[in-house]
A and B are shown apart, each in its own frame.
Chain A
Amino acid sequence: MKRTLIAAALLAFAWPAAAQTPAAGKRVQVSGEIVDTWCAVTGIMFGLGTAHHQCAVWCAVGGIPVAIRDKDGQFYMVLRIENEDVSVAAPKIVKIQTHQVTVDGELFERDGVKYLLVDKVADDKGIVNLTHDEHGVVPFGE
C-alpha cells in the first residue's frame, strides 16, 4: 500500500521549468526520528523505531542515506551532520539511528527531495519509538 501511494506521488510529480540555477537553502529546525531511507520510504518493511533499529544501522553503514522523518511523515535526507565532512554516511549519524532528534540546519529542495545539511543536533531524546513489541525485530527476527 505504501509503495502504491509513493508511486502515485511520483506520477503526480510536476517538474519545474528547466533551470541549472540551484535554489539556495533556508534555515530550518526539524524534529523527528532518524531513519533508514531505504526501508522507511519504500515501505519494504516496517522501518521505524526499535523494531527496525538494527537494520537501520546496517543500511546506514552500508551506504544507504539517512533521513529524519517528522511527525507528519515528511523525509529530510541528511547529507551532512555537524562537522562530519568525510562522507554522507558519517559515524555520527549512524550512532544516532532511530533517535528522536531536533536539528538545526539548512534545507534544500532539489528535484522533489528534501535534503538537510545539519549544523547542530539541538536535542537528542534517544530511542523513544518502541515498536518491537508490536512488530518484532525486522527483518532479523529475535
Chain B
Amino acid sequence: MAEMSGHLSRRALLAILGTGIAAPALAQGHHGHHGHHGATAPASTSHDRLATQFGGPFSLTDHSGKRVTDVDYRGRFMLVYFGFTRCTDTCPVDLPIIAQALDKVGPLADKVAPLFVTVDPANDTVAVMAEYVAAFHPKLVGLTGSEAEIAAVAKAYKVHRRKLTQHHHGKGEYAVDHGSLTYLMGTEGRFVTLLPHNSGAERLAAILTKYLG
C-alpha cells in the first residue's frame, strides 16, 4: 500500500466542514437528453465497457471466519463497498446509507449480499470486522484477508487505497484513504451499476428496488 504524509487530510477537511450536511449524489436527472452541452455523441458502441471495468473473482474471509469467494454469492446481487473500521469520514457515512437502504427495501434485501471489504487487513481482523459490521446492519458481511488478497480484490474493483500518516498521528497510528464508490454486482457477479459517495439511503433503496425487484 502506498504511503504519504501531509498537512491536512481529506478526513480532517471533512471534519472541519462538519458532518451534518446532507450531500446529495451526482444525480443530474437528464434522461433522454442527448444534446449534451459541451459533449457531442456522433456514434454509439456495440459493447458496454463500463460493465467490464469493475469486479472479478475474490477469495477472502468473512467476519465469522469462514473462507468465501465471489462464487459463494452467486444467485444474489452483491452490494460491495470498500473501507476500514477506523475510517472517520466516508465509511461512517456510506455504511449507514447501505443499512438504511436495506431496511427500506424490505424482503428484497434477501436478494442482495451487502459486502464491506476492508482496505486495512493488518488491523481489520475477523474479530474486529465482526464487531464493526454488527454495529451497522445484521445482513452486512465484513470481508478481510491477507494483504495480497485485499490488494487483488481492490485492484479488481479499481479501488484506490493509500496508507496515510500525518503529524498528529501517534506512534503506530495511521489512516487509509480509499475509494468511496458503492458497486452493485448482479447475480452472476457482473457489474450492474455504481453509486458515488453519500448518495443517500432513498436513492440507494430506489436503485436496489429497480434492479432487485
Partner of A72, one of B9, B38, B160: B38
B179 touches A63 (CB 8 A): yes
* Cβ proximity bits B38-79 to A, threshold 8 Å, 1 near / 0 not: 111111111111110100000000000000000000000000
Asked if B197 contacts A3 (CB within 8 A), the reply is no
Task: Report, as a range, how many residues of chain B touch the other chain.
Answer: 35 or more
Instruction: Output the nearest chain A residue to B197 by Cβ-Cβ distance.
Output: A64
Are A88 and B158 touching (Cβ within 8 A)?
yes
Q: Counting CB contacts under 8 A, is B126 at the interface?
A: no
Name which of B43, B179, B213 has the most chain A CB atoms within 10 A of its CB.
B179
Contact indicator B36/A9 (Cβ below 8 Å): no
Query: In the complex, which residues of chain B have a beta carbon less than 8 angstroms from the beta carbon of A86?
Result: 155, 158, 160
Task: Report if A72-B37 is in contact (Cβ < 8 Å); known contacts: A38-B23, A58-B8, A58-B13.
Answer: yes
B167 at the interface (CB under 8 A from A): no
Whether, in the assembled complex, B137 has its beta carbon less than 8 Å from a beta carbon of chain A, the answer is no
Chain A, range 1-58, C-beta contacts under 8 Å to B: 3, 6-7, 9-10, 12-16, 18-20, 22-32, 37-38, 41-42, 44-45, 55, 58
Considering the complex, which residues of chain A in the window 56-90 have a beta carbon less than 8 Å from any beta carbon of chain B? 58-59, 61-65, 67, 70-72, 74-77, 79-80, 85-90
User: Is there an interface contact between B8 and A30, defined as CB atoms closer than 8 Å?
Assistant: no
Interface size class of chain A, counting residues whose CB lies under 8 Å from the partner chain: 35 or more
B26, A41: Cβ atoms under 8 Å? yes
Which residues of B have CB within 8 Å of A55? Answer: 13
State whether the Cβ of B17 lies closer than 8 Å to any Cβ in chain A: yes
Interface contact A112-B29, CB-CB below 8 Å: yes
- Contact call A62/B29, Cβ cutoff below 8 A: no
Query: Which residues from A are CB-within-8-Å of B211?
Result: 18, 20
- The answer to whether B8 and A107 have CB atoms under 8 Å apart is no
B195 to chain A, nearest CB (A): 7
Q: For window 173-213 of chain B, which residues contact chain A by CB distance below 8 Å?
A: 177-181, 186, 192-198, 200, 203, 206-207, 210-211, 213
Chain A residue with Cβ nearest B90 = A63
Query: Contact: A89 with B53, CB < 8 Å?
Result: no
What are the residues of chain A within 8 A of B40 when measuring CB–CB? 28-29
Q: A37-B196, A45-B17, A74-B36 are in contact. List 9 more A-B contacts (CB 8 A).
A: A9-B29, A10-B200, A13-B27, A71-B37, A86-B158, A88-B158, A88-B160, A108-B48, A112-B27
Hey, which bits of chain B sit against chain A, CB under 8 A? Answer: 4, 6, 8-11, 13, 16-17, 21-31, 36-51, 53, 90, 154-155, 158-162, 177-181, 186, 192-198, 200, 203, 206-207, 210-211, 213
